[in-house]
Amino acid sequence: MMAKKKAAAGTAKTGAKKTDARADLLLEVGTEELPPRALPGLGEAFAAGIEKGLADAHLAHRGLRLFCSPRRLAVLVSSLQTCQADQAIERRGPALQAAFDEDGCPSKAAQGFARSCGVEVEALEKLETDKGAWLVYRSTRPGADTAGLVPDILRRALEQLPVPRRMRWGALDEAFVRPVHWLVALLGREVIDFEMFGIRSGRATHGHRFHHPEAIIVPAPDEYEALLESEGRVIADFDRRRTAVRGLAEEAAVGTGGRAVIDADLLDEVTAMVEWPVAVVGSFEERFLAVPPEVLITTMKANQKYFHVVDERGELLPHFITISNIDSREPERVREGNERVVRPRLSDAEFFWNQDRRHPLASHVESLKTVVFQKKLGSLHDKMRRIATLAADIAEDIGASRADALRAAELCKCDLMTEMVYEFPELQGIMGRYYARHDGEPEAVAVAIEEHYLPRFAGDRLPATPLGRALAIADKLDTVVGIFAAGQAPTGDRDPFALRRAALGILRIILEGELALNIREWSGRAAARLPDGLGKPEIVQAVHAFLLDRLRSLFQEQGVPADLFEAVAACEADHPLDMARRMEAVGAFRKLPEAERLAAANKRIANILRKAEVPIPEHVDPARLVEVPEKDLYAATEAAAASVTPLLEGGDYSGALRALAALRDPVDRFFDAVMVMAEDPALRDNRLALLHRLHGLFLAIADISRLQS
């Protein structure tokens, strides 16, 4: 090792260092089992941190691969520069005029600059540009060896991982998400020697905790993955392991006569729990199938991390697929163990199901008074009463039954008081539907109880029934308006009541359900039902602005340009569905050849009207039109108004804009020949009235002056 260090030093002295030399880099951090749900994010952040560190160090490479499993985070960097390129340094000093006196002697400024550069004034150079001349110091900083930079790059990458709580072990000051047991750091075939977490780096990794706990010596980075798999029984690549888990589960389900249902989140979590996946088929008693399938599936997924199995009709079968991390010599014992563990959980679910059905869902209404929704807003019972009348009004507006809305609202929170939902909160609404059906409630009411929670997350399905839509909007709107009134509106990243999600849910239901609802009006109605003193007008305005901001984000995600949204929002900001139709029409209009010039003309008109210092008459006086272009524009405007008015009444915004596009030539001729701000007040005011009339036709749809060319 000493000989190698001397040789490297000698190379640096002679300046023969090769900056174009390349080698693969392997970094691996071996740990106790990492948290499964966090593992994919930790891996991606780790790889991104290493990549950023290399970029900041100006070290080029040809690609980076991430490896992550329960006991390791690793990256393989291909063809990495083994040394930084030499860096040219240029420091500008004082201007030449200030650098020397009349006799040509260096000034204090020049001498101080030279000292700061570690040279004499005579060693400085001159920099001459069009803007002047300065003293300048130029030098070359030799590039550092990559091996010397890697430890800090690794340390920074680990420090920046998204770990909310880090732990310490032993007597170390350093902390990490889990205790670290080994470090691998190879550049080519050479170990990068450093210490971190009280451990010396080396070339020894470790395989599967049970199948190969012994050390595995990695000769070179490109042999890492294959060695771990062949000797260590570890599939280190997360994506390959996930593909393997999916394939194993699907193949195992074939033997049951059904198919495995692979939930993406569960697949990731299971992949993060195993290094050597092995599929095991288990079964449970058919009597449990009498329990709602959602309950059994939730039990298997949430508690046991099992994939459930369904038949060709999608109905649950009494089988499950578990992915073991051990290739057992006695797979039957693994199967029996899993069946033994899941049986008590299914029995509990069966017990809750039977117990809850002994009492009607409506019997829980009074107990809602014992649960506080929010201190200023009262109990869940208070919330239920507010959303009941709101949902009934919305239902009546969109063609659903008012009586059913009142009943659905009365029952929609009752399943929160059941044993089943207490044990499995994610089943709220779903169990309400089952219990309502059991009690003989109308089917529309039972379905609405479940649907009022939809959408539960981004991209989730929406309520499919009018009653479900009405109840969902009422519930979410009461929450948004109420929490704003209680002074707990979202700030920055804080949104403890998930108001952003609720707002997006309201807007998606309105848009995708094609509901002609006025969000300002309904926010006001929700505010009017709040406890005394809370539903102030400024709260309604704040909620409306919040909903509009969410609507802007929603449309931008759908590819609607920002200027198009602003053009419509300037004229209509209360009816999301109507806004969507206007944006579609304006989007088509801006593709017309007349659009750009009409937008520019409207911008000019808006500026003229805004700067007018006199009241603008409401009507144009045809007798005061003296120039031919203004007479032509008046005639064209009135003709357009006659054709546009019925189109607007029918909501045909595209047709209206196509009709208005015919005004381009009269508008152009008007501005080419007519002086709007004439000295004669009567002419000036009449021309302003004409422009106001013209501008108003466009504003009935959108402010096209806001469109960018």
Asked if the peptide bond before residue 531 counts as cis, ω within 30 degrees of 0, the response is no
d(CA 528, CA 386) in angstroms, rounded, equals: 10
Phi, psi of 604, deg, nearest 5: -65, -45
Q: Is 567 inside any structural domain?
A: no
Confidence at residue 97, expressed as pLDDT on a 0 to 100 scale: 82
Based on the fold, state whether residues 403 and 422 are members of the same structural domain. yes
Q: Is 243 inside any structural domain?
A: yes
Question: Quick one: which H or E segment has residue 479?
Answer: helix 466-485
Could you list the residue range(s) of the whole structural domain that residue 70 is in? 21-84+145-230
Based on the fold, state whether residues 127 and 151 are members of the same structural domain. no
Q: How many residues does the chain have?
A: 709
**Confidence class of residue 91 from pLDDT cuts 50, 70 and 90?**
confident
The pTM for the full model equals: 0.81
Confidence at residue 99, expressed as pLDDT on a 0 to 100 scale: 85
Tokens 């691998």 locate to 184
Q: Is 15 inside any structural domain?
A: no
- What would the DSSP string read from start to end of 489-555? --BTTB-TT-HHHHHHHHHHHHHHTT----HHHHHHHHHHTSSTTT--HHHHHHHHHHHHHHHHHHH
Give the pLDDT mean for 653-667.
93
At residue 75, the 3 state secondary structure works out as strand
For 621-644, write each residue's pLDDT tens digit.
999 999 999 999 999 999 999 999
Confidence at residue 18, expressed as pLDDT on a 0 to 100 scale: 53
Give the pLDDT mean for 103-120.
88
Task: Let me know the angle formed at the C-alpha of 187 by 186 and 191, rounded to the nearest 5 degrees.
Answer: 45
d(CA 400, CA 419) in angstroms, rounded, equals: 32
Q: Is 577 inside any structural domain?
A: no
Confidence at residue 19, expressed as pLDDT on a 0 to 100 scale: 55
Confidence at residue 6, expressed as pLDDT on a 0 to 100 scale: 31
- What would the DSSP string read from start to end of 217-267? E-SSGGGHHHHHHHTT-----HHHHHHHHHHHHHHHHHTTTSEE---HHHH
d(CA 600, CA 597) in angstroms, rounded, equals: 5
The residue out of 305, 322, 356 marking a domain boundary is 356
For 192-230, write each residue's pLDDT tens digit.
999 999 999 999 999 999 999 999 999 999 999 999 999
Confidence at residue 7, expressed as pLDDT on a 0 to 100 scale: 33
Give the pLDDT mean for 13-32.
77
Examine the pLDDT at 10 and tell me if it is beyond 70: no
Residue type, 158: L
User: Is the backbone of residue 708 left (phi > 0), alpha (psi -120 to 50) or beta?
Assistant: beta
Cβ(276)–Cβ(235) under 8 Å?
yes
Based on the fold, state whether residues 494 and 396 are members of the same structural domain. yes
**Confidence class of residue 282 from pLDDT cuts 50, 70 and 90?**
very high
Examine the pLDDT at 703 and tell me if it is beyond 80: yes
At residue 628, the 3 state secondary structure works out as helix
Outline where 650-680 has alpha helix (H). 653-660, 664-673
Based on the fold, state whether residues 554 and 476 are members of the same structural domain. yes
Q: Is 578 inside any structural domain?
A: no
| Closest to 122 (Cα-Cα) out of 105, 140, 139, 108 | 105
For 327-383, write each residue's pLDDT tens digit.
999 999 999 999 999 999 999 999 999 999 999 999 999 999 999 999 999 999 999
Q: How far is CA 446 from the centre of its chain?
A: 33
> Which CATH number characterizes residue 399's domain?
1.10.3210
Phi, psi of 232, deg, nearest 5: -90, -10
Q: Beta 215-217 vs 199-200: how paired, if at all?
A: unpaired
For 699-702, the CB contacts below 8 A with 24+ separation are: 699/571, 700/571, 700/644, 700/648, 700/656, 701/571, 701/582, 701/585, 701/586, 701/648, 701/653, 701/656, 701/657, 702/567, 702/568, 702/570, 702/571, 702/572, 702/582, 702/585, 702/586
Examine the pLDDT at 9 and tell me if it is beyond 70: no
Cβ(526)–Cβ(390) under 8 Å?
yes
Based on the fold, state whether residues 72 and 102 are members of the same structural domain. no
Where does residue 17 rank: exposed (0-12), middle (13-18), buried (19+ CB within 10 A)?
A: middle
What residues are paired with 138 via a beta bridge?
Answer: 90
Q: Is 566 inside any structural domain?
A: no
The mean of the pLDDT values for the chain is: 93
Examine the pLDDT at 13 and tell me if it is beyond 80: no
Q: Beta 72-81 vs 64-69: how paired, if at all?
A: antiparallel
Task: Let me know the angle formed at the C-alpha of 453 by 450 and 458, rounded to the nearest 5 degrees.
Answer: 130
Q: Residue 492: count other Cβ atoms within 10 Å of its Cβ.
A: 5
Give the pLDDT mean for 486-492.
92
The residue out of 174, 203, 230 marking a domain boundary is 230
Based on the fold, state whether residues 312 and 380 are members of the same structural domain. no
Cβ(327)–Cβ(264) under 8 Å?
no
d(CA 136, CA 127) in angstroms, rounded, equals: 6
For 444-464, write each residue's pLDDT tens digit.
999 999 999 999 998 899 999
Based on the fold, state whether residues 322 and 207 are members of the same structural domain. no
Cβ(475)–Cβ(410) under 8 Å?
no
For 519-539, write each residue's pLDDT tens digit.
999 999 999 999 988 999 999
| Closest to 479 (Cα-Cα) out of 445, 503, 515 | 503
> Which CATH number characterizes residue 605's domain?
1.10.730.10
Q: Percent of the chain, pLDDT > 70? A: 97
- How many independent structural domains does the chain possess? 5
Q: Is 390 inside any structural domain?
A: yes
For 130-188, write each residue's pLDDT tens digit.
888 888 888 877 888 999 999 999 999 999 999 888 999 888 888 999 999 999 999 99
- Structure token pair of residue 208: 């599967």
d(CA 388, CA 460) in angstroms, rounded, equals: 24
- Structure token pair of residue 467: 């009653």
Based on the fold, state whether residues 436 and 488 are members of the same structural domain. yes
Examine the pLDDT at 16 and tell me if it is beyond 80: no
The residue out of 325, 356, 387 marking a domain boundary is 356
Confidence at residue 140, expressed as pLDDT on a 0 to 100 scale: 79
Based on the fold, state whether residues 71 and 180 are members of the same structural domain. yes
Confidence at residue 218, expressed as pLDDT on a 0 to 100 scale: 97
Based on the fold, state whether residues 425 and 388 are members of the same structural domain. yes
Label each residue of 278-325 as H, E or C. Answer: EEEEEECCHHHHHCCHHHHHHHHHHHHCCEEEECCCCCEEEEEEEEEC
Confidence at residue 3, expressed as pLDDT on a 0 to 100 scale: 33
Examine the pLDDT at 2 and tell me if it is beyond 50: no
The half-sphere exposure of 502 on its side-chain side, counting CA atoms within 13 A, is 24
Question: Quick one: which H or E segment has residue 342?
Answer: helix 331-356
d(CA 605, CA 600) in angstroms, rounded, equals: 9
Cβ(110)–Cβ(165) under 8 Å?
no
At residue 413, the 3 state secondary structure works out as coil
For 396-405, write each residue's pLDDT tens digit.
999 999 999 9
Based on the fold, state whether residues 555 and 622 are members of the same structural domain. no
**Confidence class of residue 431 from pLDDT cuts 50, 70 and 90?**
very high
Torsion of CA 429, 431, 436, 439, to 10 degrees: -160
Confidence at residue 474, expressed as pLDDT on a 0 to 100 scale: 98
Based on the fold, state whether residues 71 and 112 are members of the same structural domain. no
Q: Is 292 inside any structural domain?
A: yes
